[in-house]
Amino acid sequence: MRNFYYSLSFLYDKLEQNFILEKLEKMIETANIYEKLMEHLTQMAMMCPTRSELLVMLKENITQEEAKILLAIPSDVIPFEGVTAEKIANTLNMPEVELNDHLIRLTKKGLLFSNKNKACQEEYALQQVGYGFPQTFFWKGEDTPHSRKMASHVLKYFNTEVTREVYCTDPLPYRFVPVDEVIEPEKAAILPYQVMKKIIENAKVICVAHCICRITTKLKGKGCEHPTEVCMKFDDLARYMIDKNFGREITKKEALEISKMAESEGLVHFTDNSIENVQQNCNCCGCSCWNLGRIKRRMLPRDEIIATYFIRETIEENCTGCGNCIEICPVDAITIKKDKASIDLNWCVGCGLCVSKCLNDAIKIVYRKDLKYDLPEPSFQCLHKNILKTRK
């Protein structure tokens, strides 16, 4: 009898040990899958650098099953370059019917991009920085416990170092576009892609969403008084956002009105650094936005973070040194020296907002002569293929 109890006790201890080991193995597997996913996201054109804050965001938004699915979607691609559910299912060895439920849920949550290919098949792509991650948490402008929590994580994650890793590429992913009226008509005719009106007119579909920079800072009890529903998306990105209810569809007339309103509010136009297939136009402030804010605070050099094709010149014989242009400058690049407006050419973004404040026709916005690249990339696709190439 004693041997029987001894055997039973031994068996029990063994089962308990096995249970603990299984539990530990599951915990390790869970940690590993999120680590693998984080590494997977570093391969994208607009990549996510590995940081502990990113790991937290992935764990709080994505289940282990969803993480496995995202790992089966190619990451060494440009934004919006997707694959069909059939290809993902084959990679995972999962029935397509079962997979579809997960894919639909991921797109509804904004954790996966989807659109239709030329054959009208739904394709899925990972959300790349600037085109879905972490934007989907804030495009609706909602104030919820989850959006507040994500705002904290995002602001910690996108510090200056991470911002440099993501956005300071060659070529640069984005560019500033001046106020339409400040570009000389002959120059505007030669460079129509540098005119917001033309960019809007060329779009097939347009939607408007909230500025994620101003929303995140507001959710943290900071921010500024500039309007938030001023970020416009075009074509592929617009279709996705309208379909998933992240933005509302607007007409070209409404888009032009938003563009003009943004200028009157002292916001700077920013768009993809490409001539064709532009996907978005944000309207940024020096208070909250990831680009102008860092330029204004001299945290990242202008030419490292945003392509700036124009710059201000002062016509000295007309300038009276009134200082009207100083207040509206979004990056504090103007001072008065010897009764004339003096421009810091290393930080001016050539936005043209100061022109409307000048009563003496003393300001010109001119094309820069010191550029490494004279023109934006030919298309959105070329832009991101070149970014992906330099990352590799």
Q: What is the pLDDT of residues 259-280, one digit of tens each?
A: 999 999 999 999 999 999 999 9
Q: What is the mean pLDDT of residues 169-185?
A: 92
Q: What is the pLDDT of residue 31?
A: 58
Q: How far is CA 270 from CA 70, 73, 230, 290, in A?
A: 30, 30, 11, 12
- For residue 73, what is the DSSP state? S
Q: What is the pLDDT of residue 260?
A: 96
Q: What is the pLDDT of residue 181?
A: 86
Q: What is the pLDDT of residue 24?
A: 40
Cα separation of 194 and 184, whole Å? Answer: 11
> 2 falls in which pLDDT band (50, 70, 90)?
low
Which of the two residues, 182 and 256, has the higher pLDDT score? 256
Task: Write down all domains in the chain, each with its CATH number in brackets.
Answer: 34-133 (1.10.10.10), 145-391 (no CATH)
Q: What is the pLDDT of residue 120?
A: 86
Query: Interhelix angle for 52-61 vs 2-40, to 10°?
Result: 110
Q: What is the mean pLDDT of residues 67-87?
A: 96
Average pLDDT, the chain: 92
Q: What is the pLDDT of residue 17?
A: 55
The pLDDT tens digits of the residues spanning 115-162 come to: 988 888 999 999 999 999 999 999 999 999 999 999 999 999 999 999
Q: Is the pLDDT of residue 4 over 80?
A: no
Instruction: Report which of 34, 24, 41, 25 is spatially closest to residue 59, judged by C-alpha positions.
Output: 34
Instruction: Report which of 329, 196, 189 is spatially closest to residue 257, judged by C-alpha positions.
Output: 196
Alpha-helical regions (H) of 191-308 = 196-202, 212-219, 235-243, 252-264, 292-296, 302-305
> 188 falls in which pLDDT band (50, 70, 90)?
confident
Q: What is the pLDDT of residue 249?
A: 98
Whether the Cβ atoms of residue 349 and residue 331 lie closer than 8 Å to each other? yes
Cα separation of 132 and 130, whole Å? Answer: 6
Backbone φ and ψ of 51, nearest 5°: -150, 160
Q: What is the pLDDT of residue 28?
A: 47
Q: What is the pLDDT of residue 318?
A: 96
DSSP line for 95-114 = -HHHHHHHHHHHHHTTSEEE
Query: Interhelix angle for 145-157 vs 212-219, to 10°?
Result: 110
The pLDDT tens digits of the residues spanning 345-366 come to: 999 999 999 998 999 999 999 9
Q: What is the mean pLDDT of residues 203-214?
A: 97
Q: Sign of the CA dihedral 26, 30, 36, 37?
A: positive
Whether the Cβ atoms of residue 330 and residue 203 lie closer than 8 Å to each other? no
Q: What is the pLDDT of residue 14?
A: 58
